[in-house]
Structure 1
Amino acid sequence: MSRALFIRGANDAYVAPFNLREGQPGEILIDVACVGLCGSDLHYYKDGGIGSAVVKEPFVPGHEFGGYLCEDFDDLGLAKGSLVAVDPNRACGHCEYCEKGYANLCPNVEFIGAPPFNGAMTERIWVPSSQIVPLPDNFTPLEAVMLEPLGVAIHAVDLAKPKLLERVALVGCGPIGLLILQVLKAAGAGEILAVDPLQHRRDMAGQLGAARTGTSVDDIREWTDRAGAPLVIEATNSPLGFRDAVVAAKIGGRIVLVGIPDGDTYTLPAAEARRRGLKIKFARRMGEVYPRAIELVAGGKVDVTSLVTHQVGLDEAPDTFRNHADNVPGYIKSLIYPKGFSKLGG
Structure 2
Amino acid sequence: MSHAVFLHAAGDARFAPFNLREGTPGETLLDVAAIGLCGSDLHYYKDGGIGSAVIATPFVPGHEFSGWLTEDLPELGLARGALVAVDPNQACGHCQHCRDGHPNLCPDVVFIGAPPHDGAMTERIWVPKSQIVPVPERFTPSDAVMLEPLGVAIHAVDLARPRLLERVALVGCGPIGLLILQVLRSVGVGEILVCDPQPHRRALALELGATRAGANVADIAEWTRGEGLPLVIEATNAPEGFRDAIRATRIGGRLVLVGIPDGDSYMIPAAEARRRGLTVKFSRRMGHVYPRAIELVAQGKVDVDAVVSHRFPLADGPEAFRRHAANEAGMVKSLLYPHGTDGKRR
Q: Same fold (TM over 0.5)?
A: yes
1:318 is the counterpart of 2:318: yes
Q: CA deviation at 1:12?
A: 0.3
Measure, in 1, the Cα distance between the counterparts of 2:300 and 2:127.
Answer: 29
**What corresponds to 2:52 in structure 1?**
52
CA deviation digits over 1:74-131, x for unaligned, max 9? 1101000000000000000000000111100000000000000000000000000000
Contact conserved, 2:34 with 2:343, CA < 8 A, in 1? no
**What corresponds to 2:70 in structure 1?**
70
- Give, as a single letter, the amino acid of the residue that structure 1 aligns with 2:12: D
**What corresponds to 1:29 in structure 2?**
29
In the TM superposition, structure 1's runs of 4+ consecutive aligned residues that sit over 4 Å from their partners are: none
Measure, in 1, the Cα distance between the counterparts of 2:25 and 2:150.
Answer: 30
Q: CA deviation at 1:343?
A: 5.3
1:239 is the counterpart of 2:239: yes
TM-score, normalised relative to structure 2 = 0.99
Map 1:196-235 to 2 at 5 A. 196-235=196-235
Measure, in 2, the Cα distance between the counterparts of 1:40 and 1:338.
Answer: 21
**What corresponds to 2:61 in structure 1?**
61
Q: CA deviation at 1:339?
A: 2.5
Q: For the aligned residues, what is the CA RMSD?
A: 0.8
Q: CA deviation at 1:344?
A: 4.6
Measure, in 2, the Cα distance between the counterparts of 1:164 and 1:344.
Answer: 41
- Give, as a single letter, the amino acid of the residue that structure 1 aligns with 2:131: Q
- Give, as a single letter, the amino acid of the residue that structure 2 aligns with 1:318: P
Percent of residue pairs bearing the same amino acid type: 70
Measure, in 2, the Cα distance between the counterparts of 1:304 and 1:151.
Answer: 11
1:18 is the counterpart of 2:49: no
Task: Tell me the secondary structure at the aligned position of residue 213 of structure 1.
Answer: strand
- Give, as a single letter, the amino acid of the residue that structure 1 aligns with 2:227: A
Contact conserved, 2:60 with 2:121, CA < 8 A, in 1? yes
- Give, as a single letter, the amino acid of the residue that structure 1 aligns with 2:123: E
**What corresponds to 1:126 in structure 2?**
126
**What corresponds to 1:102 in structure 2?**
102
Task: Tell me the secondary structure at the aligned position of residue 294 of structure 1.
Answer: helix
Structure 1 residue ranges without an equivalent (≥5): none
Q: CA deviation at 1:36?
A: 0.2
**What corresponds to 1:162 in structure 2?**
162
Measure, in 1, the Cα distance between the counterparts of 2:338 and 2:11.
Answer: 20
- Give, as a single letter, the amino acid of the residue that structure 2 aligns with 1:40: S
- Give, as a single letter, the amino acid of the residue that structure 2 aligns with 1:46: K
Measure, in 1, the Cα distance between the counterparts of 2:253 and 2:286.
Answer: 23
TM-score, normalised relative to structure 1 = 0.99
Q: CA deviation at 1:340?
A: 2.6
CA deviation digits over 1:237-275, x for unaligned, max 9? 000111011000000000000000000000111000000
Q: How many residues align?
A: 345
**What corresponds to 1:177 in structure 2?**
177
Task: Tell me the secondary structure at the aligned position of residue 275 of structure 1.
Answer: helix
